[in-house]
Chain A
Amino acid sequence: MKPADPSFAHPDAVTLVTGRNVLNAVVLHIIFFGNTSLRQSLAQMTAIEILGLEKTYKVGFWLKRVRRALQPLHLTVEEGEIFGFLGPNGAGKTTTLKMLMGLVFPTAGTARILGREWTDPEVKAQIGFLPEQPYFYDYLTAHELLDYYGQLSGVPGKDRKRRVDEVLQRVGLADVKGVQLRKFSKGMLQRAGIAQAILHNPKLVFFDEPMSGLDPLGRREVRDLMEQLKQEGKTVFFSTHILSDAEALCDRVAIINKGELRGVGAVEDLTSTVQGKVEVIWQGTQIPASIKALGAECHATGDTVRAVLPENQQDAAIDALRRERIRLIAITPLRTSLEAYFVEKLQHSQTTAGTTA
């Protein structure tokens, strides 16, 4: 730290920043401009902050029974990342999204989106939302629909026309822009949905099951689009129950089941916690007892045996085979998948649910 310099007292922060290091600039920022803007600029780095959002429904004729759709959820999503929100059907993914969109009111908890209260209507100008199996005004054409949504999002007239055409082109609906939506197939509707979500160039997009109803080609296109959005600096938050998509796309994921958060983290970090496995294939139909003792799953097919056993037992297995003079055909590490992590987390919750019930 340099000795105190009289020019520190100068109120012109710009000249100071150019001459000093960043840390000093930050300190001066706090002193001269106050805490809030710094907090805001720090907060800008967090796209979504979910603070204890909770949803409980009262059900039954006398509204006595209680159904907890979402237990208090705490989650953070950083700007510029693709975040996957995973869980089986009915886990609470859509409920969370609807609460963030202001469609459903939480029983407790708050959230901040792009640094502002999630109930702030101006926040909505910066976000896009694609609901699950979207349905649009079917008497409108794709062009009219996007134009209408553009009006509602506050996109000015001149830009709107250009943006609508651009976006239609991007999702591949340019040819059918004059066709009424009631004539659209499921895949086309999905594309229209994506189009309306990105039309107004939002910083943050929410997709609820974006791949549903799409054929493999369509899914590939959506994946590419999501990557592009990330390249453009946007944040993507999407929910899905298809793990392969999540694995391929996401920087970080959260797993939710029965309204409870089961795990959060970067994909690699999560998958590495699951023990790796290897696949060993040898000639013959013999299954040595020592290999069985290692906890291997063995299947004999034709004149080969295929065994799957934990990675760390790999060497012991090779030794066993050599001892028995069995001819080794192949050893292949099985790629640990998110699915394994997912299943493990879900099973864990089943068990805990079982023990606490």
Chain B
Amino acid sequence: MNSRIVHIARNTFREAVRDRVLYNLIAFALLLSGAAIFVGQISIDIERLVVVNLGLTAVSLFGVVIAIFIGIGLVSKEIEKRTLYTVLSRPVRRWEFIVGKFFGLAGTLVVNTFFMAIGVFGALLYVAHKFTRPDALILVALYFIILEFLIICSLALLFSSFSSPLLSAVFAFSLFVIGSFADDLRGFAGLTHGFTRWFATGAAYLVPNFSALNVISAVAHQHAPGAQLIVQNTLYALFYTAMALSGAVLIFERRNLK
């Protein structure tokens, strides 16, 4: 069982690479080096701030875009192109297929983030000329960004299991935006009354909480997120991913392939 998931994951990674997804790193590198050089030149005393903020935001946004654009097609493309037929006629369980695809996509993003991290640290070195202890916090921010990716991947996969790529992209992107304001949504739910309150609270809790995972500003100002927060966020991301994947499995198990 496990080896099949690993094989599917590896093949998904291979597909992403051959789809030239890693070329996004070039765009990222250009963006970051441009910013670093520009900021280094104009010397407005917030070089570190700009590089860290811009770098981490770019890592996050690029990653989310990649996660969504690859994720939405993971299942629907295989059904559309009927490549699934020869896969499912083998002793591959449907749920293994979903889980394998997830790990493949997540793996792609982790690798991508790794290279981007090198870029961010490189740009930081360029503008600040040396590393200081608090710079290690950037790793925490990157870890949180990867947790974000896990959630987004699982959501994209969930939508892909029943919806067309276009709709899936819209849903996934909307959830990303809404999730970034999840705190506000929960607060807003708290201000409503009656039936609306139930509905709003339910929705607010189900929406992925990206605001808790966004520590970019804090890290840019060298404030460390607490250890408890790190643990809770990790657990949250894992459970949320499990939830979305369970949903995807349940849907996919029932699907009649055309």
Q: How far is the CA of A123 from the CA of B92 in the complex (A)?
A: 11
Residues in B neighbouring A200, C-beta threshold 8 A: 90
Residues in A neighbouring B81, C-beta threshold 8 A: 135
Check A271 for interface membership: any CB of B closer than 8 A.
Answer: no
Q: How far is the CA of A136 from the CA of B77 in the complex (A)?
A: 12
Check A184 for interface membership: any CB of B closer than 8 A.
Answer: no
Contact (Cβ within 8 A) A137 B83? yes
Interface of B is mostly: helix
Shortest beta-carbon distance, B204 to chain A, in Å?
34
Contact (Cβ within 8 A) A152 B83? no
Encoded as 1 (CB less than 8 Å from any B CB) or 0, chain A from 104 to 148 comes to 110000000000000001111101110100111101100000001
Contact (Cβ within 8 A) B15 A139? yes
- Assuming the contacts A102-B88, A103-B88, A148-B11, asked whether A136 and B93 have C-beta atoms less than 8 A apart, the reply is no
Check B199 for interface membership: any CB of A closer than 8 A.
Answer: no
Shortest beta-carbon distance, A132 to chain B, in Å?
9
Interface of A is mostly: mixed
Check B19 for interface membership: any CB of A closer than 8 A.
Answer: yes
Contact (Cβ within 8 A) A101 B85? yes
Check A154 for interface membership: any CB of B closer than 8 A.
Answer: yes
Contact (Cβ within 8 A) B83 A129? no
Interface residue range, chain B: 20 to 34
Residues in A neighbouring B226, C-beta threshold 8 A: none
Contact (Cβ within 8 A) B85 A152? no
- Assuming the contacts A103-B257, A104-B256, A104-B257, asked whether A151 and B7 have C-beta atoms less than 8 A apart, the reply is yes
Shortest beta-carbon distance, A120 to chain B, in Å?
9
User: What count of chain A residues pass the 8 Å CB interface test?
Assistant: 31
Check A98 for interface membership: any CB of B closer than 8 A.
Answer: yes
Encoded as 1 (CB less than 8 Å from any B CB) or 0, chain A from 75 to 110 comes to 000000000000000000000001001111100000
Check B89 for interface membership: any CB of A closer than 8 A.
Answer: yes
Residues in B neighbouring A154, C-beta threshold 8 A: 4, 91
Q: How far is the CA of A139 from the CA of B73 in the complex (A)?
A: 15
Contact (Cβ within 8 A) B91 A125? yes
- Assuming the contacts A129-B85, A135-B83, asked whether A121 and B91 have C-beta atoms less than 8 A apart, the reply is yes
Residues in A neighbouring B229, C-beta threshold 8 A: none
Check B87 for interface membership: any CB of A closer than 8 A.
Answer: yes
- Assuming the contacts A103-B257, A104-B257, asked whether A152 and B19 have C-beta atoms less than 8 A apart, the reply is no
Q: How far is the CA of A124 from the CA of B8 in the complex (A)?
A: 17
**Mind listing 12 A-B residue pairs with CB under 8 Å?**
A103-B84, A103-B88, A103-B89, A103-B256, A104-B256, A122-B91, A134-B85, A134-B86, A137-B83, A151-B3, A152-B92, A200-B90
Known contacts A104-B257, A148-B11, A149-B87, then 18 further A-B pairs from the complex at CB < 8 Å, ordered by chain A residue: A101-B85, A102-B88, A103-B88, A103-B256, A105-B254, A123-B91, A124-B89, A124-B90, A124-B92, A131-B82, A131-B86, A131-B89, A135-B82, A135-B83, A137-B15, A139-B19, A148-B7, A200-B90
